[in-house]
Chain A
Amino acid sequence: MSVAWIWRLRLPNQPMLRHLTLAISGGALLFVLTTVLSSFNDYQVAQIGVYAVALAGLTLLTGANGQISLGNGAFMAVGAYGAGLLLAHTDVPIAVALLLAVAVGAVAGVVIGIPASRLRGPYLAGMTLALAVGLPSMVTKFSSVFGGDQGLSIAPPTPPNGVDPERWLAWIVLLCVVIVLVLLGNLMRSRFGRAFRAVRDDEVAASLVGISVARTQVLAFAVSAGCAGLAGGLFGLTIGGANPDAFNVQLSISLLAGVVLGGTGSLFGVWWGAVLLVYVPQWATSVAGTLNLQTGQSSNLALLFYGVVLVVVMLAAPGGLQGGIRRLTTLFVDKVRAGIQPSLPSTEGEHT
Chain B
Amino acid sequence: MSRFLDLTLGGVTYGAIYAAVALALVLIWRATRILNFAQGAMAMFSTYIASSLVERHVSYWVALVVALASGALIGAVVERVVVRPVERRPPLNAVIVTLGLLVAIEALAGIIWGGSLRSFPSYFSQVGLVVGRTRLAFSHFDVYVVCAVIVVLLGFVILFRFTDVGLRMRASAFSPEVSRLLGVRVGRTLTLGWALASMVGALAGVLAAPKLFLGPNFMDAVFIYGFTAAVIGGLESPLGAVIGGIVTGLSLSYVGGYLGSSLDALGALVIVMIVLMVRPRGIFTPIAERRV
**A: which residues have CB within 8 A of B?**
62, 66, 68, 70, 115, 118-123, 125-127, 129-131, 133-135, 137-138, 140-141, 204, 208, 249-250, 253, 256-257, 260, 264, 293-294, 296-297, 300-304, 306-311, 314-315, 318
Contacts and interface: CB of A to CB of B under 8 A. Distances in A.
19 contacts: A118-B277, A118-B280, A119-B280, A121-B91, A122-B29, A122-B35, A122-B91, A123-B280, A125-B37, A135-B266, A137-B265, A140-B262, A141-B262, A141-B263, A204-B290, A256-B96, A257-B96, A300-B110, A311-B104
A136 to B, nearest CB: 8
A314 B292 contact: no
Given A115-B276, A120-B280, A126-B272, A297 B111 contact: yes
Interface of B: 29, 35, 37, 82, 85-86, 89, 91-93, 95-97, 99-108, 110-111, 114-115, 220-221, 224, 227-228, 231, 235, 260, 262-269, 272-273, 276-277, 280-282, 290, 292
A249 B220 contact: yes
Contacts of A125: 35, 37, 95
B92 A131 contact: no
Contacts of A208: 292
Q: Which one of A120, A253, A301, A303 has the greatest number of beta carbons of chain B within 10 Å?
A: A303
B113 to A, nearest CB: 11
A115 B35 contact: no
Q: 10 smallest A-B Cβ distances: which pairs?
A: A307-B104, A310-B100, A122-B35, A307-B103, A303-B107, A134-B269, A304-B107, A134-B265, A311-B100, A130-B269
Chain B interface helix/strand/loop/mixed: helix
A141 to B, nearest CB: 5
Q: Which one of B96, B102, B235 has the greatest number of beta carbons of chain A within 10 Å?
A: B96
A311 B101 contact: yes
Contact of B100 (A119, A301, A306): A306
A62 B111 contact: no
Chain A interface helix/strand/loop/mixed: helix
Given A126-B35, A134-B265, A304-B111, A260 B101 contact: no
A300 B115 CA distance: 9
A121 B35 CA distance: 9
A123 B33 CA distance: 12
Nearest to B267: A134
Contacts of A141: 260, 262-263, 266
Contacts of A62: 92
A250 B220 CA distance: 11
A160 to B, nearest CB: 42
A314 to B, nearest CB: 5
Contacts of B220: 133, 249
A32 B255 CA distance: 54
Given A304-B107, A315-B82, A122 B235 contact: yes
Contacts of B107: 300-304, 307
Contacts of B260: 141
A308 B104 contact: yes
Contacts of A307: 100-105, 107
Nearest to A260: B96
Q: Which one of B91, B95, B108, B267 has the greatest number of beta carbons of chain A within 10 Å?
A: B95
Contacts of B97: 310-311, 314-315
Contacts of A204: 290, 292
Given A133-B224, A307-B101, A123 B281 contact: yes
A296 B114 CA distance: 9
A129 B25 CA distance: 15
Given A68-B92, A204-B292, A314 B100 contact: yes
B86 A314 contact: yes
Given A134-B265, A137-B262, A309-B100, A304 B108 contact: yes
